[in-house]
Amino acid sequence: MSKTQIPTGGIADDAISEEHIDATVITGSTALDDVPALTDEFIFSDGGTLKRIDANFVMNTPAFYAYKTASTTFADNTTTQLVPTSVVQNDGTCYDTSNGRFTIPAGQDGHYFVYGSFRINNYDPNRCSAVFFVNGSEQNWSLHEHAPEGDLSSRRPVIHATGMMNLSATDYVDFRGHQASGSSDTVLNAVFGGFKIR
């Protein structure tokens, strides 16, 4: 490729177009062969101005998913926190297995989707529920009761809840269940997870 001397006064506006630029200038010569790190950067056009942004602003992180196979006893007419301790995913180290809290890290304010479920040994569809607490306060809108039909004497149905919430740094979410069957009951196979939507 021949070299051309830059004219005195510089290059005129719009003098360089796409046919003058090698694609590797934009696309890079090395492919990313793993999931982007949260500090990796993307280049995008903001109203015609090229800008860079960290991956954590466009990925669904922080995110976590944890489960618990050991049983938990729910006392009668008592809301009990479930603390899953086996972590499958914990991007951003936002979930604490010691207290069952999903805490929003600094700089990650936004909308989050959370979900949780558990199986209960003896099921009464009118007296069992799952709910999220934010900063220790119950979020009633997240309440969900799963009410299967038919004979439940030999079944251990799944009680679950989902919710979307606007959270700020240091806010924390935990997952709890409630039953009022008239006596204590056993809860099995609890799961709790969540991730940032935007």
pLDDT digits (tens, 9 = 90+) for 20-46: 666 666 666 677 766 667 677 777 778
Find, among 27, 36, 28, the residue nearest to 56 by Cα: 36
How many CA atoms, within 13 angstroms, populate the side-chain half-sphere of residue 18?
Answer: 2
Distance between CA 105 and CA 103 in Å, rounded?
A: 6
Note the pLDDT of residue 53.
Answer: 76
Note the pLDDT of residue 81.
Answer: 95
Residue type, 75: A
Which class does domain 63-196 fall in?
A: mainly beta
CB 20 within 8 A of CB 11: no
Quickly state the pLDDT bin for 48 (edges 50, 70, 90): confident
pLDDT digits (tens, 9 = 90+) for 57-85: 666 789 999 999 898 898 988 899 999 99
Note the pLDDT of residue 52.
Answer: 79
165 or 120, higher pLDDT = 165
Distance between CA 132 and CA 114 in Å, rounded?
A: 9
Note the pLDDT of residue 181.
Answer: 80
DSSP bridge pairs for 127: none
CB 44 within 8 A of CB 65: no
Quickly state the pLDDT bin for 175 (edges 50, 70, 90): very high
pLDDT digits (tens, 9 = 90+) for 96-153: 999 999 999 998 999 999 999 998 887 665 577 889 999 999 986 555 555 555 555 5
Q: How far apart are the first and last CA of the chain?
A: 46
Distance between CA 175 and CA 80 in Å, rounded?
A: 9
Note the pLDDT of residue 191.
Answer: 96
Domain ranges of the chain: 63-196
Note the pLDDT of residue 193.
Answer: 97
For CA atoms 20, 25, 26, 30, give the dihedral sign.
positive
Judge whether residue 90 has pLDDT over 60: yes
